[in-house]
Amino acid sequence: MIVRSKPRLQDILLTVNGSILPRIVGKLGLIAVVSAIAVLAAQEHPGIFARISAIPFTLIGIALSVFMSFRNNTCYARWWEGRQLWGELIISARSLGRETLLLPQDDRRELLRGVCGFACGLAARLRGQSEIAAIEPWIDIGSEAEVPNVTNAVLDRMGRRLLTLMQEGSITPIHYSVLEDEIRSLSKVQAACERISMTPVPFAYSLLLHRTALIFCVTLPFSLAGSVGWWTLLPALLIAYTFFGLDALGHELEDPFGFEPNCLPVYALKRTIEREMLSLLGERDLPPPMKPEKSILH
């Protein structure tokens, strides 16, 4: 996630890091070349584009901007839901930490380190990395490394341990029910995150907008070259920057748990859980909070 203050004029004009420009510079170069070709053709053969009116492009541009805004709103909704889910995960982790105060220290330590392992495993799972490597620093996975969903296996182990504590009389059935509710909340967060991660925006819908935006931006210079000459480059590149930029931004937000600059800071969020769980266990040598690298927080 990009972490910046309100952009100043200097930032608006010069900032590249964290902007969408690096992803679309190739397409902008294509539009610049097409615009130059259109202008040269109009100068070499005056009147060649006289019958191409800019009015249809105005109407198509309005319709395209509306459809693109629908897609971007959908992608932003996915991004915001992902952020809410990780907020719920932090709330459930804190609640579980408070509700284990009466447990024996060894059992409490096992549960809270299990929460850390679950958060790390979920972050790795959502980003296509090794869940086992992420979880093992916190708990010994053992035979559970062979199950299809290692992150969920961490919650299963925590649930079994709580059930054993209730059967031994260490906690009451009511206390067990309260703790089990928090584990169920963690499981719901994982399922919802997996739903977002495994259900992309329909490909045909995205492809339609990609093609329409590309065709619109490539053909637009031919409607302007005959009347404005080399000034064609300015509106053509500006419109291309807007359409291609919105398209690329929507693609980044579509997968809110990825590594793109505008994706959620999943590592920073799971580090928050790690620090707070270790603090509840009385540890003082906590891992440092994640810091932005070149204004990007991962």
C-alpha Rg value of the chain to the nearest Å: 26
pLDDT of residue 71: 85
Q: CB neighbours (10 Å) of residue 37? A: 13
Q: For residues 100 and 112, what is the distance between their CA atoms, to the nearest angstrom? A: 9
pLDDT at 2: 66
What residue spans of 100-202 are helical by DSSP H? 105-126, 131-135, 150-168, 173-198
Q: What is the pLDDT of residue 6?
A: 63
d(CA 86, CA 105): 27
Taking 50 as the pLDDT cut, the residues of the chain under it are none
151-to-99, 136, 275 alpha-carbon distances in Å: 22, 11, 19
What pTM was computed for the model?
A: 0.86
The string of pLDDT tens digits covering residues 123-174 is 999 999 999 999 999 998 877 778 889 999 999 999 999 999 999 888 899 9
Distance, CA of 142 to chain centre = 31
